[in-house]
A and B are shown apart, each in its own frame.
Chain A
Amino acid sequence: MRHLWWKVLCGLLLAYVTVFSFIVPLGPGVIGVDQTSLSSGENTVIIQSYNAHLEESDLQVFLGINDSTYLCTEVLEQVDNDKLKVRFTLPQDAPNTSFNILMNNAKDGTMFFPNAFRYADAAGTSGDFEWSSCPVSVVNQENTGFSIPFQPIIYETIRNLMFHVPMWFTMFFLMGIALVSSLRYLSNSKTEHDLRALAAVQVGLVFCVLGLITGSVWARFTWGAWWVNDPQLNGALVTFLIYVAYIILRNSIEDDQKRAKIAAVFNIFAFVILFVLLMVLPRFSESLHPGKGGNPAFNKYDLDNTLRMVFYPAVIGWILLGYWIYQLRLRLHRIEKKFYYNENV
C-alpha cells in the first residue's frame, strides 16, 4: 500500500481541481455597454456587468479618461440582475478621446472595462483640455469574494487553464521520458527501454489530442474559430503529426530489434526538431496565444492566489495521471512481450 501514495495523491489532486475549478465563481466585472459612441451633452447608457453586486448601495461608476482624471456619473437604476443604467454629461467642447469604465463597491472592489466609449466629434478639440475631474473616494479596490479572476474576452473559459495547459505539460513530460528511453536504448539495446519509449509516446499522444481538443473548444469561444493560423497552434499540430509518424514507422518494420533501433533514432531526431519548433520559432513571431506575443497568461492579473491554488495542483495531478497511465501501458507491453516470447521461443 505504501508505494501507492502517489496514485492516491493524483486522485485527490484531480478531484480537488475538478471540484474547485467548476464551483468557484468567476469574479465580478463589466462585459459591455449598449452603445460605444458618445455625444456631447447628456448621455444615458446601460452597462452590462457579470457577477457584480449591483444592488449594493455604495455602488459608484466613473468614466476614466487617464490615470488621474475621472468623470462622475449618476447611477439611475438597476435594469435587471446584470444591467445598470447610468447618466453623465460631457462638456460641449470635449476633446476626442476614449473612456474607460470603472465601477466600484466595497464588496466587489474596482471593476475595469477599457475603451468602453469613444467620443469623436468633428468639433472636438485636440489640445490640452481641463476636465472637471470628480473626487474619487472608494472604500475597497480589491474584490472581497472568493473567486476566479475576471478577464475581458476570456470570462468563464479561464477555467480551461486547469485542463488545457497541464495537458501540454504532461505531454512534454511523457515525450521527455520517451526521449530518455530512446537515448538509453541506443546505448544499451535493452528491449525494456524500447517498450518505455513506445508506451510514453502512446500516452503522450493521448494527452496531445486532449490538449488540441480543449484548446480548440477554448478558441471557438474566445477567438471565434475552432482553428486559427498561429505559431503556437502550428507547433501543436506538427507535434501530433510527428508522433503519429513515429507510430506509423514502428508499424512498418517487422523485425523487433531493427524496429526498436530505427524508432529510437527517429524519436531523437524528431524531438530536436520539435524543440526548435516549439521553443525557438514562436519567440520571434507574433501569436494570439495567451502568454505569447504580449498576451496575458501569468502577468499581474493572473498571478492570482486563487488561480495558483488550483493551477499548480492541476499540473502535478495531470502529470501524475499521465505517468500512471504510462506505467499501465508499459506493463501491458511487457506482458505482451513475455506472452509472445513464451509462445514462440
Chain B
Amino acid sequence: MAFVLLLCITMKALMYLIKHEFRMEFRQKYAIASILLFTVSTIYVVYQAMKKIDDSNVWNAILWIILLFSAFNAIGKSFSTEQRSLRMYLYTTVKPQQFVLAKLIYNSLFMVVLGLLALGVFSLFLGDGGLGPLKLGTYILGVVMGSVGFACLLTLIAGIAAQTDSGSGMTAVLGLPITIPLILIIMRFTTQIMKGIPFEDNVQNILYLGVLNVGLIGLTYLLFPYLWRD
C-alpha cells in the first residue's frame, strides 16, 4: 500500500515535471522556433544544392546528418535555458532522478516530433529517395527509435556540457564521438530498409537500438544525480 502511494507520488511529480518542461518550452517560443528554423533551412539548403536525390543511400545519409545536427541543436540547449533561481527551487523540491527522467521523456517526445517533421519536410522537397509507401512504416519506426536514441544519449552529455565553462558548445565536442555507435546501428537499419530487406531480417538492429536506449536511460538515471548539485 505504502509502495503504491509512493509510486503515485513519484508519478505525480514526474508528470508535473514533464508538464513543466512543456510549459517552459512554450513560454520561450523562440527556442522551438530557432530549432525548427535550423532544421527546415538546412533541408532547404540541401534542396538548393541537390534539387532531387535519386540515390537512396545519399538520401538516407543526408537525412540522418540533418537529424543528427538538429538533435545537437535541440538537446544541447536543454540545460542552459533554465534560470538560476528556478534551478535553485527545483533543487529543493524534486529528486534529481525524477528531474532527469522528465527531461529524458520530454527530450524524446520533442526529438520524435522533430524527426518526423524533418522526414516530412525532407521528402516534400527532395522526394522520397525511392522509399515508397510500403517501406515508409518501418522507416518511420527507424526515425522514431533513432530520435529517442539521440535524446537518451545527448541528455546527459548536455547536462555535462552545461556544467563546463564553455557551455553548450561543449555538447558537440563531447557528443559527436559518442553518437557514432548509435549512428552505425541506425544507418544499418535504414539502409537495409532502403535495399528492401524484409523486416524480419532487419528487426535485430532495432532491438539492439532498443537495448542501447534502455542502457543509456539507466546510465543517465544513475549518473545524473552527481551532476545535479555543485
Task: Name A residues whose Cβ lies closer than 8 Å to a Cβ of B.
Answer: 186, 231, 234, 238, 241-242, 245, 248-249, 252-254, 258, 261-262, 264-266, 268-270, 272-273, 276-277, 280-281, 284-285
> Is B184 interfacial (CB 8 A cutoff)?
yes
Question: In the docked arrangement, what's the CA distance between A234 and B177, Å?
Answer: 10
A179 to chain B minimum Cβ distance, whole angstroms, is 13
* CB–CB A262/B227 < 8 A: yes
Task: Point out the residue from B184, B223, B227 that lies within 8 Å of A281, measured CB to CB.
Answer: B184
* CB–CB A265/B227 < 8 A: yes
> Is B163 interfacial (CB 8 A cutoff)?
yes
B207 to chain A minimum Cβ distance, whole angstroms, is 11
* CB–CB A264/B226 < 8 A: yes
Q: Restricting to B147-206, which residues have a CB under 8 Å from any CB of A?
A: 156-157, 160, 163-166, 170, 173-174, 176-178, 180-181, 184-185, 188, 204
B170: nearest residue on chain A (CB-CB)?
A: A252
* CB–CB B181/A269 < 8 A: no
* CB–CB B219/A249 < 8 A: no
Take A258-B230, A276-B181 as given contacts and tell me if A245 and B223 are in contact as well, using a CB distance cutoff of 8 Å.
no
* CB–CB B164/A265 < 8 A: no
Chain B residue numbers with a CB within 8 Å of A261 are: 226-227
* CB–CB B219/A269 < 8 A: yes
* CB–CB B170/A277 < 8 A: no
Take A234-B184, A249-B170 as given contacts and tell me if A242 and B156 are in contact as well, using a CB distance cutoff of 8 Å.
no
Q: Is the interface of B mostly helix, strand, loop or mixed?
A: helix
Chain A residue numbers with a CB within 8 Å of B120 are: none
B116 to chain A minimum Cβ distance, whole angstroms, is 26
Chain B residue numbers with a CB within 8 Å of A245 are: 173-174, 177-178
Known: A248-B174, A276-B181. 20 other contacts (CB 8 A): A242-B177, A245-B177, A249-B170, A253-B163, A254-B165, A258-B163, A261-B227, A262-B160, A262-B163, A262-B164, A264-B226, A265-B156, A268-B219, A268-B223, A269-B157, A269-B219, A270-B178, A273-B181, A276-B212, A281-B184
Chain B residue numbers with a CB within 8 Å of A254 are: 165
B227 to chain A minimum Cβ distance, whole angstroms, is 6
Q: Could you list some 15 contacts between A and B, CB below 8 A?
A: A186-B226, A241-B177, A242-B177, A245-B173, A248-B170, A249-B160, A252-B166, A258-B163, A261-B226, A262-B227, A266-B174, A269-B219, A269-B223, A270-B178, A285-B188
Question: In the docked arrangement, what's the CA distance between A262 and B224, Å?
Answer: 10
> Is B215 interfacial (CB 8 A cutoff)?
yes
B55 to chain A minimum Cβ distance, whole angstroms, is 18
Which of A245, A277, A284 has the largest number of chain B CB atoms within 10 A?
Answer: A245
Please report the number of residue pairs spanning A and B whose Cβ atoms sit closer than 8 angstroms.
71
A231: nearest residue on chain B (CB-CB)?
A: B184
**B25-63 interface mask toward A, CB cutoff 8 Å, 1 = contact, 0 = none?**
000000000000000000000000000000000000000
Chain B residue numbers with a CB within 8 Å of A249 are: 160, 164, 170, 173-174
Question: In the docked arrangement, what's the CA distance between A234 and B179, Å?
Answer: 13
Chain A residue numbers with a CB within 8 Å of B219 are: 268-269, 272
A128 to chain B minimum Cβ distance, whole angstroms, is 38
Chain B residue numbers with a CB within 8 Å of A264 are: 226
* CB–CB B177/A252 < 8 A: no
Which of A248, A270, A276 has the largest number of chain B CB atoms within 10 A?
Answer: A276
* CB–CB A269/B156 < 8 A: yes
A136 to chain B minimum Cβ distance, whole angstroms, is 46
Question: In the docked arrangement, what's the CA distance between A266 and B173, Å?
Answer: 12
Question: In the docked arrangement, what's the CA distance between A241 and B230, Å?
Answer: 27
Question: In the docked arrangement, what's the CA distance between A170 and B188, Å?
Answer: 31
B169: nearest residue on chain A (CB-CB)?
A: A252
* CB–CB A252/B165 < 8 A: yes
A-B interface, 5 closest residue pairs, ranked by CB to CB distance from nearest: A241-B177, A252-B164, A277-B181, A242-B177, A252-B166
Question: In the docked arrangement, what's the CA distance between A270 and B179, Å?
Answer: 10
A230 to chain B minimum Cβ distance, whole angstroms, is 12
Chain A residue numbers with a CB within 8 Å of B230 are: 258
Which of A234, A254, A268, A281 has the largest number of chain B CB atoms within 10 A?
Answer: A281
Chain A residue numbers with a CB within 8 Å of B223 are: 265, 268-269
A270 to chain B minimum Cβ distance, whole angstroms, is 6
Q: Restricting to B8-37, which residues have a CB under 8 Å from any CB of A?
A: none
Chain B residue numbers with a CB within 8 Å of A277 are: 180-181, 184
Chain B residue numbers with a CB within 8 Å of A241 are: 176-177
